[in-house]
Structure 1
Amino acid sequence: MKVILVCKSVSHGNTARIAQAMSQVLGGRVVDPADIDPAELADCDLVGFGSGIFNMSFHPDLRRFIAALPTRQHRKAFVFRTSGLPETPFRRYVTTLTRSLEHKGFEVIDSFGCRGFDTVMPLRLVGGIHKSHPDAADIAAARAFAENLRVQITTPPF
């Protein structure tokens, strides 16, 4: 099974730690959107797309990478993220990214998210929030999520 995780991780490396945990289970590699030719996704069985959440959205570099992909991808994908705060009902960034991927032809089969150390203003004034995240439980949850994906992809339908 060929797997690539396209991950934009800045600030504290929260999302990179989650992506690495998933890639160990899936046997894939983690790449920054700037470091991959979109053509490399053509022969993947599964592609993950993830970043930290910035201003209630996925990182702009990840969104631009997806926007530049050709349509008719016809492959399975998943979305992952780390965030200091939960997704709000008025700004559904996971749904927005999922729709962008589906527009490109991906079948988004699941998504994963966990807390991450966040020092965006005004949180920086108090030293940030979720300083210990992602923690061991978050990494274990990411591994379990990836194992579930691996089983979904490798188990033949009835």
Structure 2
Amino acid sequence: MKTVIVYASVHHGNTKKLVEKIAKECNVDLIDAVQQPKADLSDYDRIGFASGIYFSKFHQTILKFASENLPENKKVFMICTYGGNAAYKPLEVILKEKKTDIIGKFGCKGYDTFGPFKLVGGIAKGHPDGNDLKAAVSFVAGLQ
């Protein structure tokens, strides 16, 4: 199956670290939504969206990309990195409007220095770590 992950990794490179490892191990194409806000995804069987979590949602470039570029009736999965909690709902709303089949969700801790966390040197230092990377690769490799 031809797979692509559309991602945004804008602060500490947490999400980029994950998707680059996945791409290497699982033969997955990558699209950086910040650098390439438009793309034809019609040839892909599975489409992943990956981002850090910002104010309880995926980065705005991912939400906009999905809204404007995602064809209907595709198999879709989500990957997020977060300091606090995973948050899929705002992206799920767009995916449901596009009549997608959500085939999986993966989230792991990512180094976060937003707001008050900066005062203490950040949280989730060292993440994503080797175990997180292995889990992310296993997640994508196991998708149907």
TM-score (norm 2): 0.91
CA-CA distance at 1:118 after TM superposition = 0.1
Secondary structure of the structure 2 residue equivalent to 1:42? coil
Which amino acid in 1 is paired with 2:95?
L
Q: CA RMSD in A?
A: 1.5
Q: Which of the residues 92, 109, 113 maps onto 1:115?
A: 109
Which amino acid in 2 is paired with 1:37?
K
Which amino acid in 2 is paired with 1:83?
Y
The whole-number CA distance in structure 1 between the counterparts of 2:5 and 2:63 is 14
Which ranges of structure 2 fall in alignment gaps of 5 or more residues? none
The whole-number CA distance in structure 1 between the counterparts of 2:99 and 2:26 is 22
The whole-number CA distance in structure 2 between the counterparts of 1:11 and 1:36 is 18
Match in the other structure for 1:75: 74
Match in the other structure for 1:28: 28
Secondary structure of the structure 2 residue equivalent to 1:109? strand
Paired residues of 1:3 and 1:26 also in contact (CA < 8 A): no
Q: Write out per-residue CA displacement over residues 101-148 of structure 1, whole angstroms, 9 at most, x where no aligned residue.
A: 121122111000000000001100110011110001100110110111
Paired residues of 2:58 and 2:90 also in contact (CA < 8 A): no
Secondary structure of the structure 2 residue equivalent to 1:38? coil
Match in the other structure for 2:18: 18
Which ranges of structure 1 fall in alignment gaps of 5 or more residues? 88-92, 153-158
Q: Does 1:86 align with 2:85?
A: yes
CA-CA distance at 1:36 after TM superposition = 5.4
TM-score (norm 1): 0.84
Structure number with higher helix proportion: 1
CA-CA distance at 1:64 after TM superposition = 1.1
CA-CA distance at 1:94 after TM superposition = 0.6
Indicate the structure (1 or 2) with the bigger Cα radius of gyration. Answer: 1
Which amino acid in 1 is paired with 2:64?
R
